[in-house]
């Protein structure tokens, strides 16, 4: 395992001409190092903050109108937070660009929910990297990272950064494709430019053969999922599927089962699925009472039951205040 620490922050162009930092969780500029007790204490304080926010709702809504990130949060009410606003929250307050210099933006980026997103990204990348490391990736086997509702797919490229840092040579010479299955085009477009920056000379993924493809997909159309997986040669490839802040957070029980069932049928025996599951908890109930984003909170027992019905077993689960971060493998494997 390499001990080199990269501290150079890379940037990629967003569609509106703004340059955003490229999140690399191995870089101290982005990494979050906290104990479970510290995170739990922050979560407890945030419950109190949410009660205060609810009492001052009109004042807060007016303030959010003055903030780029705030307006995105308001647009998510009764819906979902889009890929690029979610990505901006993962940058942390110190890495916001010139377009996000409003003090309110920085306050939001320093909040507990934004911190939870940064931790979620780290957990997802870790689970993906560990899952890929356990597969048989011979020189002839393609590598497919399939990202459902992934936006920029920062969990996918960070998993590759971890593997490249910890297992030098493992990915060299492999054909690697990140396929982003998402209705949104803006997030994947930024993700593609971020991957180009990461593969440049001297960057964390230099020398690797990585392509990124956007595939329009709504998770209600599982017949489309079947066709996509066949086009990607998912049965033969080393296949790691992920959905960070996507299918398992917003999808209905029926949609979760339907997508996992197709993934079971159309991928190889050693395929894995990594995802974040909205957690049924006091903190989540308090959060929904203020933000009203259409999440689908579940207990771990409930999610395990859904996964099992579709042929998958939860092999690892990281419990966080707002979500569970899970690694699934096929039950028969």
Digitized pLDDT (tens) for each residue of the chain, 333 residues in all? 333 456 789 999 987 678 899 999 999 999 999 999 999 999 999 999 888 776 555 555 655 556 666 565 555 555 667 778 889 889 988 888 765 467 777 878 888 999 999 999 999 999 999 999 988 777 788 999 999 998 999 999 999 999 999 998 889 988 999 999 999 999 999 999 999 999 999 999 999 999 999 999 999 999 999 999 999 999 999 999 999 999 999 999 999 999 999 999 999 999 999 999 999 988 888 887 776 677 899 999 999 999 999 999 999 999 999 999 999 999 975
Q: What gap in Å lies between CA 121 and CA 118, rounded to an integer?
A: 5
Kindly give, in sequence order, each residue whose CB lies less than 8 Å from that of residue 72, ignoring residues fewer than 6 positions away.
81, 82, 85, 88
* pLDDT for 332: 78
pLDDT at 2: 37
The answer to whether the beta carbons of residues 111 and 42 sit under 8 Å apart is no
At residue 137, the 3 state secondary structure works out as: coil
For residue 15, how many other CB atoms are within 10 A of its CB? 12
Q: What does the pLDDT read at residue 294?
A: 79
| All domains of the chain in start order, with CATH | 11-116 (no CATH), 120-282+295-330 (3.40.50.150)
Q: Which residues contact 277 (CB under 8 A, 6 or more apart)?
A: 248, 249, 298, 300, 303, 323, 324, 325, 326
Q: Would you say 146 and 242 are in contact if contact means Cβ atoms under 8 Å apart?
A: yes
pLDDT at 139: 75
Concatenated DSSP letters for 50-119? HHHHHHTHHHHHHHHTT-HHHHHHHHTTTS---HHHHHHHTT-GGG--GGG--HHHHHHHTSHHHHHHHH
User: 97-105 — which CB contacts under 8 Å span 24+ positions?
Assistant: 97/18, 97/19, 97/20, 97/21, 98/18, 99/18, 99/68, 100/68, 100/69, 102/66, 102/67, 102/68, 104/63, 104/64, 104/66, 104/67, 104/69, 104/70, 105/67, 105/68, 105/69, 105/70
Q: What is the pLDDT of residue 269?
A: 95
Query: Phi, psi at residue 238, to the nearest 5°?
Result: -75, 110
Q: Which residues contact 33 (CB under 8 A, 6 or more apart)?
A: none
Tokens of 68: 């780029």
Give the integer Cα–Cα distance in Å for 272 and 239: 7
Cα 129 to Cα 211: distance, rounded to the nearest angstrom: 18
The answer to whether the CB of 297 falls within 8 A of the CB of 277 is no
Name the phi and psi angles at 147, rounded to 5.
-115, 110
Q: Tell me how far apart the alpha carbons of residues 120 and 234 are, in angstroms, rounded to a whole number.
A: 26
| CA dist., res. 140 & res. 74, Å (int) | 48
Beta bridge partners of 175: 209
The H-assigned helical ranges of the chain are 36-55, 57-64, 68-75, 83-89, 103-109, 112-133, 154-166, 186-198, 222-231, 247-250, 253-266, 282-291, 300-309
Q: Determine the pLDDT at residue 57.
A: 55
């Amino acid at each position: 395992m390499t001990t080199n620490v990269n501290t150079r922050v890379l940037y990629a162009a967003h569609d509106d001409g703004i340059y955003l930092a490229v999140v690399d969780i191995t870089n101290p500029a982005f990494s979050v190092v906290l104990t479970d007790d510290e995170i739990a204490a922050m979560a407890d304080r945030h419950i109190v903050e949410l009660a205060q926010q609810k009492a001052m709702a009109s004042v807060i809504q007016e303030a959010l109108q003055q903030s780029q990130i705030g307006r995105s949060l308001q647009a998510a009410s009764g819906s979902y937070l889009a890929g690029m606003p979610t990505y901006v929250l993962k940058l942390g307050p110190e890495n916001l660009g010139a377009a996000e210099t409003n003090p309110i933006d920085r306050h939001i980026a320093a909040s507990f929910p934004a911190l939870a997103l940064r931790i979620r990204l780290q957990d997802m990348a870790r689970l993906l990297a560990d899952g890929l490391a356990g597969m048989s990736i011979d020189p002839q086997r393609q590598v497919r990272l399939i990202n459902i509702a992934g936006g920029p797919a920062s969990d996918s490229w960070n998993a590759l950064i971890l593997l490249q840092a910890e297992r030098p040579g493992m990915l060299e010479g492999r054909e690697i494709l990140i396929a982003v299955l998402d209705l949104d085009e803006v997030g994947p477009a930024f993700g593609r430019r971020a991957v180009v920056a990461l593969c440049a000379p001297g960057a964390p993924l230099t020398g690797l053969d990585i392509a990124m493809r956007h595939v329009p997909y709504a998770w209600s159309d599982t017949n489309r999922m079947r066709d996509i997986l066949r086009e990607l040669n998912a049965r033969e490839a080393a296949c790691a599927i992920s959905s960070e802040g996507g299918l398992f957070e917003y999808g209905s029980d029926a949609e979760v089962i339907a997508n996992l069932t197709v993934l079971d049928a159309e991928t190889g025996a050693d395929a894995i699925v990594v995802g974040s599951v909205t957690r049924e908890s006091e903190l989540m109930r308090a959060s929904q009472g203020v933000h009203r984003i259409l999440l689908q909170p579940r207990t771990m027992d409930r999610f395990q039951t859904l996964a099992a019905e579709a042929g998958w077993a939860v092999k690892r689960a990281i419990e966080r205040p707002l979500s569970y971060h899970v690694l699934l493998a096929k039950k028969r494997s």
